[in-house]
Chains A and B, each alone.
Chain A
């Protein structure tokens, strides 16, 4: 009987040798006359266990990890094709606590299915949302998205349904759906995992968005640093077209939707929606002033829905299960789930999808198992390179857009980067300014010049040249950038800088305000 094995094709698995593991398993099976079928699935997101090899057994899928090519012969000797005991045997995959404790809605198929197989996708609830959408009027689809409470997962957290409603109401000869897949934030990889591990979910979400708003063309703008994601998306789109879920006359409904993948070229600011549109139109990716909103004048001047990968990928489930199902997860005005991404100096780094409202401490210790180095965790940057450094005193706040905003932090795209006590926060603040200087599009002065001056001022603070005055100057500069920049690049760079100086003043050679007063 054929035994089915799963070896991930996600690039985090490939980066630790998954390809050689798959090859070695195939060769070993051949030499031992074992009848195996190797499925190249996505990653479960338990990256410290990659390469995570799974074996389908009558009891369920049994996991082995982290497997290297050198382990393969031993695994065969131990009878792993029948789920046999071995030092790398982790038991049933679904019972691994890190996975079991999650609330996987968007990532339910992640690592389970063959990412480019339409049949596998359909067997796991795929295209149920699209079928439902085809039975509804456009305004009813938009209402479902509004009722679900879904907010943009790219970082700005604007309600997705309102964008869609604006585009639906706009009169135009052509409308577009644009997927912002320029996931440039350090500490984030949920978009990459989606495109590599369940790309049909994004395809389905975009097709639903098209049907809901009257857009017949969609573009996925993917960063050039993600070649695997681009290749997997292309393959998934071809397969969806062949199966009639995309293209002209979707499922004989008379509706059409075409999808085009566009490769970006390495500019961080192109993650900002208007810069992205400029880039998609073939120009330098420079930020546009708003208004007009992209929903009214977006790609090629036409009404455009522009959403992040996870936003669009959340839609199929909302349509398939109903707005209430999704809305019942989460808290306050943060509804549903967010794929949190645990990264940096963390023992068990990976993807944790949970409803909004859990705390950073739960993520860091219950899921993450503390720092990778074994040293105390000092600072945690939440929400990407433009997010604040969150000190331990705030690790018990609920992860919720409003609760974080109240302390001057952001949830953003759900990226969480952990630093241990070896981190020098003045150098991380300097890096934030340096990054802004390298990546600024240059259109507005606060961002273009402020970032360069920011590096210089921090250097003067750390080398103690007129330190007290320079600290005042830095705060002033941050205020100018915060309020005077055209987009989040310059407007949010002060978040990491100010949080570093406020919460870790000793790293800048200054006393904490409360201690100074005492």
Chain B
């Protein structure tokens, strides 16, 4: 049994027919329930639930404050390398895109770490393009050894690994992993990933579970919104998150709802996901998984992030740069354009102004 089998249960689900049958009373009943089923979650993702976003928002806010308090964890991404062997049609790191390819030396990693640590942050997310050759597990371990001098929590967002490799990185000091399935729609996935190891839908899909088995403390998943129907993607992300939490109770499961951003490849989103859609997704997920983490990155505008603060978000990136070496030197071309360019200090000021506490450090084991 893997999450693939779980997702198969919904492969032939007629979403339109389910949504057609949802009533306003159903939505109200679900909003007031203590524990939601996956079909309750689907009810909240229905087009008709758009009419009850305020009620959902009130409940999402209440649940989030109860579970997490008035706090938001701040972190920042650190791009170690942008070499990539894949040809994802929507990504700036596409193997054939004409961008300057870089990989940080260990001295450069230390310089980047020092620049970020000076902001007070203790949580970092390290990213690479998907090239085992340029960004081997050994290289990542070397980087982690340096980063441990500056940070108390290190997460990875890299190509999918085997369980043993995740264990190796966990032993080296990595405590969290993020991987996006991009799209749960298997046929669309094949079309959007024409070449490279990333074509293997199932190997990627099972990566979060392998990370859980390798005793990673935190696992973050999501779909890249804009590639397929967002309501189905949101639903299947929720099914995936619920599957992981049921089977790996000790792992902190969270999700991110990244929307496609402009990048050097110029691939336009296939599906437009509006702000209202994004809000509905976040609210529905919060009601479905009251303890689940929800990350809102700098892909979104400052104004939207400010307004979504009270709707269930638990983590935000700050002072972000998607280019390799961008924290300590002149930035090269990034993976995508960020939308919220505020520094860590500016984010903290915004949070305090809205009666929230920025949390710079929320984990330490070494």
A and B bind: no
Residue positions of A touching B, CB distance < 8 A: none
